[in-house]
Amino acid sequence: RPMTAAQQIGWWTKDEPLKTKEPWTQEKRHVHAQSEMTKFVDDMLIMKIIIFGANGAVGSECVRQAITDKNVEHVTTITRRPLDKNIISDKHTNVIHTDFLDYTPLLNLFENHQACIWALGISQNAVNETEYIKITHDYTLAAAKSIANVNPTMRFIFISGMGADSTEQSRFLFGRIKGKIENDLVKESGLKEIYTVRPAGIIFTEQPSNKPWYERAFTPALHVFKVIKPAWVITAIGLSRTILYLVKNGHHATLFENQDLRNIISENHLLE
């Protein structure tokens, strides 16, 4: 019968490597076994990912990083309008969906994916309060509940932001509503594995054309903060790779402030 992965690794570590004359110590065998197991799991980890908000600055970077990741088999983006033409890959499919309170047409899709990245959002300055709550809270919770109905073990990565207030008492609309949806995802969605990331100032390699002028104007200040207060900034590439790390590996923590995200980047060499 075919050997299991563990049996294969045990067999590989019985003999010393061909290119060395030194016999293996128990410690060397243990290190080699761990290395081979990591490679085996890494090669076997093939995932299908759904990304909401792929027309946004962060969502589009998540798509670009995902389609180049060898562990991602396919990326499905769900958007209200077609994606920019610069995202072209055999690993990518875009699905147009217009009602973000009703996901019935997408249930079969939800069943066949292992993770969802929720990057859909809007600035509180771009719409009125009612519309902001609907987009930030209602759309998100409706999607999470629909996913949980057919695939409750799907990993769900919610992109929140620095300043989200878990007490829901912030005097800022952003802080209150982001904090509320973070809480409601855990309490009401039915999903078993939810990770919330709270990035601070995001530095983009290329300034997204769809960002409002006041956010683009703040970009030079972010480069200053990168030097004097690095815990307050993160690159878009670093953020998206950290999100993909959580998609593929999960984590013992569920809430990640900006410094936590930076720690994952450095500990796992995600920018090398």
Q: Mind listing the pLDDT tens digit for each residue in 182-222?
A: 999 999 999 999 999 999 988 876 655 555 544 554 555 55
Query: What CATH number should be reported for the domain holding residue 69?
Result: 3.40.50.720
Whether residue 3 is contained in a domain is answered as no
Structure-block tokens of residue 229: 């207060």
Cβ contact 101:76 at 8 Å: no
Whether residue 56 is contained in a domain is answered as yes
H helices of the chain, in order, are 5-12, 26-44, 57-67, 107-111, 129-133, 139-150, 173-188, 213-217, 219-228, 236-249, 258-267
What are the φ/ψ torsions at residue 140 (nearest 5 degrees)? -65, -50
Q: Is the pTM of this model over 0.85?
A: no
Tens digit of pLDDT at every position of the chain (272 positions): 444 444 444 444 444 444 445 566 766 666 565 555 555 445 556 899 999 999 998 999 999 999 999 999 999 999 999 987 777 789 999 999 999 999 999 999 999 999 999 999 999 989 999 999 999 999 999 999 999 999 999 999 999 999 999 999 999 999 999 999 999 999 999 999 999 999 998 887 665 555 554 455 455 555 554 555 667 789 999 999 999 999 999 999 999 999 999 999 999 999 86
Whether residue 34 is contained in a domain is answered as no
Residues 109 and 115: their CA atoms lie apart, in Å, by 11
Q: Which amino acid is at 245?
A: Y
- How many domains would you assign to the chain? 1
Whether residue 83 is contained in a domain is answered as yes
Whether residue 27 is contained in a domain is answered as no
What Cα–Cα distance (Å) separates residue 96 from each residue in 62, 67, 77?
Answer: 18, 19, 8
**Other CB atoms within 10 Å distance of the CB of residue 170:** 17
User: What does R_g of the chain's alpha carbons equal in angstroms?
Assistant: 21
Structural domain including 213 reads 45-267
Q: How many CA atoms within 13 Å lie on the side-chain side of 170?
A: 15
To which residue do tokens 């890494």 refer?
A: 42
Whether residue 133 is contained in a domain is answered as yes
Query: What pLDDT is stored for residue 265 in this prediction?
Result: 96
172 Cβ partners below 8 Å, 6+ apart? Answer: 124, 163
Whether residue 152 is contained in a domain is answered as yes
Whether residue 28 is contained in a domain is answered as no
